[in-house]
Amino acid sequence: MNFLLALLSGALAVPAFAPLEWWPFAFLSLMGLALLLERAPSARAGFGLGLAWGLGCFAAGVSWIYVALERYGGMQPLLAGFAILLFCAFLALYPALCALLYVRLRRGGLFRRAALFAALWLISEWLRGTVFTGFPWLAIGYSQTPPSLLAGFFPLIGVYGVGGLTAFIAGLLGLSVAHVRAGTHSAPARMPAIAIVLVCGAGFALAQYPWAEPDGEPLTVSLLQPNVEPTFKWDPDNFNDVLRINADLVAQARGALVVLPETALPAPLDRLPDGYLGHLANLVDGRGASLVTGVFTHENGHYQNAALTLGAGGGQRYAKHHLVPFGEYSPPLFGWFYRLVDIPMSQQLPGAANQAPLELQGRHIALDICYEDIFGAELATALPRAGLMLNLSNLAWYGDSFAQPQHLQIARVRAMESGRPMLRATNTGMTALALPNGKVEAMLPAFTRGVLETSVTAYRGATPFGRWGDWPALVVALGALVLSLPRRKRIPAA
């Protein structure tokens, strides 16, 4: 029964994320887990409850990966479903480890236990976003975008720190209920409420502070959304049609910066028709504009997921550094996976780490490609030099699912962490401009073809997260964890 309750508690977290963004559900979800863990009779039982919570959350929240495997990768439906189940079970190991350690180390009063729960949660999510290249999707902090009062903490402590605060509040609530039921509530009932009000009040106050300031005149931008399905793009019969779609969108654009999404061109750079890149350059060069487009490159037998610039400031390149396991490269011992799916350009070479920002239209622009923008600390290496952030994405592989709105919510968090506007050019959605306050200034409807004409101002200055990344939050969490460790009893001197 408790396993089922934990499973449901995990699934309850998913509405807190986009597209619904019912952010209080994150507190309810973790509150349920904390309540169950407080009643767990052993660390082994705690592990099972954490595993169930993780299965509920990830199976409900990232099941859209099934679309890429079955519809576009050609994997058999049952096998694709089993692969997703294994993937979710692996992700669930992190909350399971958190739960196991909590039950083993729990001691002391309400606040000490809530701090332990929060510290373990923060560390487990950071590990999930780091180990084996990381997969931090659905880190609980992402659910706290505005209007959540915790959003003001993003520029200070990043998504993992906000996740830790979410777990601390949820822990106070869940443990208070558990202690009241058990008749062991030692702290006055008002103390948890006061603590929660103070944390939320601090978040509100921090949201009013201008960590960065506008720098220079607004830049007109055209973000292009071709809306081309993978099966259409990679069909040789549609090659010329895809080239025409991209060229037509570039011709319609009016911005000084024009952006096509990730892998917008339907062939590696060395296999494009002679003169095609020159044609795209001519479309923008006549009015002094710059074009950024995603494209595969093919050199020395290796593919790279890259972007290049044409027109004013042409000749610059960026190659994706943080690749997607199983989608863009095969982890060791998993070569058999690619014998079961058919994904174009799926064995890629990563670009160099810490590549310099692009210099276009008098601005420094930190570019990242798709999956890379879920790693906030990596993007922060371009700060404070870069005044703008630009993401090129292609989520067409996941169909009409939660993937698009969840990814936009992640981009909003990156904008708040960095104090920089985030421009997004995507194939099928969500093409948008997210501001440093976490709000979406402009957006195209998903699964439509069009041009988003907008303007954006670069920013200067550095947020605390932009300077130090995840370290402050991790240090606090590790400190809370150390304070919770059992102390050795001193042996009296003879």
370 annotated active-site: yes
Q: What gap in Å lies between CA 38 and CA 108, rounded to an integer? A: 12
Yes or no: say if 352 and 318 are a contact pair by the CB < 8 Å rule.
no
320 annotated active-site: yes
Set 320, 328, 372, 417: catalytic member: 320
In which order are the strands placed within the sheet that holds 450-456?
317-319, 302-311, 290-299, 257-259, 219-225, 450-456
Yes or no: say if 53 and 9 are a contact pair by the CB < 8 Å rule.
yes
Residue 76 burial (CB count, 10 A) = 12
What six digits make up the tokens of 74? 């050609």
Set 57, 88, 98, 370: catalytic member: 370
Rg of the chain over all Cα atoms, to the nearest angstrom: 24
Residue type, 474: L
Q: What gap in Å lies between CA 292 and CA 311, rounded to an integer? A: 9
Set 70, 125, 262, 372: catalytic member: 262
Residue type, 329: Y
Yes or no: say if 166 and 27 are a contact pair by the CB < 8 Å rule.
yes
Question: How do the residues of the chain divide into helix, strand and coil, expressed in percent and rounded to 5?
Answer: 50, 15, 35
Yes or no: say if 279 and 412 are a contact pair by the CB < 8 Å rule.
no
372 annotated active-site: no
Active site members? 262, 320, 370
